[in-house]
Amino acid sequence: MASDQSLVRATACAIVEKLNSGEVTPLDLLDVLEQRIAEVDGKVNALPTLCFDRARTRAKALMKKPIGDRGLLAGMPIPIKDLFNVEGVLNTQGSPIFKDTIAARSDIVVEHLEGNGAVVYAKSNTPEFGAGANTFNEVFGATLNPWDLSRSAAGSSGGAAVALATGTAWLAHGTDMGGSLRNPASFCGVVGMRPSIGRVAHTPVAKIDRNLTVHGPMARNIEDLALLLDAMSGEHPADPLSLPRLPTPFLAAARSGKRPKRVAYSPDLGITPVDPEVAAITRKAAMRFAEAGAIVEEAHPDLREAHECFHVLRAFDFAVSKAALLRSNRDLLKPEVIWNIEEGLRLTVEQLERAEAQRVAMTARALEFFKSYDLLLAPATIVAPFPVEHRYVAECDGKKFDNYVEWLAIVYAITLVCCPALSLPCGFTASGLPVGLQVVAPPRGEAQLLAGAKVLEDILGVRGTTPIDPRPAK
């Protein structure tokens, strides 16, 4: 079984079934992944830190339990984004400052996953401190898009997305502030989801109630995504924002077949330019909801303050979490991180007051919008995968951006209004690059989000295009 590389193409749900039936063991799966990583990861650099010895020790301990007592994931291997601690494993955060740092204790989200039967075998690559939606850093270098090795995998959960796309992971952990689960999912032809605030408990860092960033799941299809969200969800006393587990599993919700009655599509949310080809592909996909009996209309909530609001709140987050590093290690920080921290340190209380009020107003308008629509659809990224040597998207459709995050407005606007959202593969450009459709539900509406996304996934028929072997630059 250890040499059965066909397993890399199985769904995560099928793998868990094999684990629960005893057809495969966690050790078998680790052998399969180790061989697959040796074959393909050198081309894409998705999983720069491996911890197979630790994983096998954990797997053997898990296998001493009866199969029915091994947790929801039953021994499923999972990579963790290299921003978060896994006990005994290197945690660089993509920064030269932490290039030799070994974690003394795991983050709550890792403990939670391991308690549900996950086996951690790798850390996935990320930009320095997750800043910037292009996965490169001075410690490990760039992660390349397997659909075209000259292209970006986006970020900041870029390593996770590429691992899924190349078959070196069945499920993957990530985080999302300005689309960091949705952007790489879109660029790599997989599914990434930003859950509601508190859905996934994590270890508070720098500020108890930081909520722009949330932890979430990434997978190759909606059912697998729901499975991982079930394994990640649940409250923890150390995270005061964390929510209790819901009585109905998210996997059951995804499989419910519940169809939305009325959905809205917007090519730009009224706030950003969009590449015309991306707009056309996402519009065509959104309109196919009509095949499920849904009314599809062009509409979006009023999000006009999103740029100013996110710029201020993101800068404040960087100041709170990274100002000490600026004081002690300025020479080791990349320019974009320095800029973000300094922007935060210059903020006035009046600017913060205005930004928080804007967020409250936009969230209220979004809630009102969802009284009329079950789901909101939009592009997950405003461009197709761009050349990896470009640090970020500087302009789109004739508009030049003011900073390195403004091109992410179509996702960070959704972050601000506290909605769960995911990127669903919905088609390909003329040059064969993946495009993701952003699907958004009202706050705490993960169940209807997953159900609706599964309905559209079935209609579109794009599921199953991954994993792929890395493809040369075109």
Q: Give me the amino acid identity at 3.
A: S
* Distance of alpha carbon 48 from alpha carbon 71, whole angstroms: 28
Burial (Cβ within 10 Å: 0-12, 13-18, ≥19) of residue 104: exposed
Q: 30: closest CA among 10, 9, 60, 66?
A: 60
Q: Are strands 214-219 and 191-194 parallel, antiparallel or unpaired?
A: antiparallel
Q: What are the structure tokens assigned to 29, written together? A: 């799966």
Whether the Cβ atoms of residue 102 and residue 90 lie closer than 8 Å to each other: yes
Q: CA geometry: angle at 449 spanning 242 and 20, to 5°?
A: 75
Confirm if 386 and 340 have CB atoms less than 8 A apart.
Answer: no
Cα separation of 419 and 426, whole Å? 21
Query: Which residue has 């399969």 as its token pair?
Result: 32
For residue 253, give the 3-state DSSP assignment: helix
Report in angstroms the alpha-carbon separations of 345 from 95, 163, 310, 315.
21, 36, 15, 8
Q: Give the burial class of 337: count Cβ atoms within 10 A of its Cβ; 0-12 exposed, 13-18 middle, 19 or more buried.
A: buried
Pair type for strands 375-379 and 172-176: unpaired
Active-site residue list: 81, 156, 180
Token code pair at residue 332: 């080791």
Question: DSSP secondary structure string, 295-334?
Answer: EEEE-----TTHHHHHHHHHHHHHHHHHHHHHHHHGGGS-
Number of H helices, E strands in the chain: 14, 15
Contact at 8 Å (CB) between 184 and 411? no
Distance between CA atoms of residues 402 and 397, nearest Å: 15
Reduce the DSSP state of residue 342 to 3 states and report it. Answer: helix
Compute the distance between CA of residue 154 and CA of residue 392 in angstroms, rounded to an integer: 9
422: β partners = 193, 439
Interatomic CA distance for residues 216 and 214, integer angstroms:
6
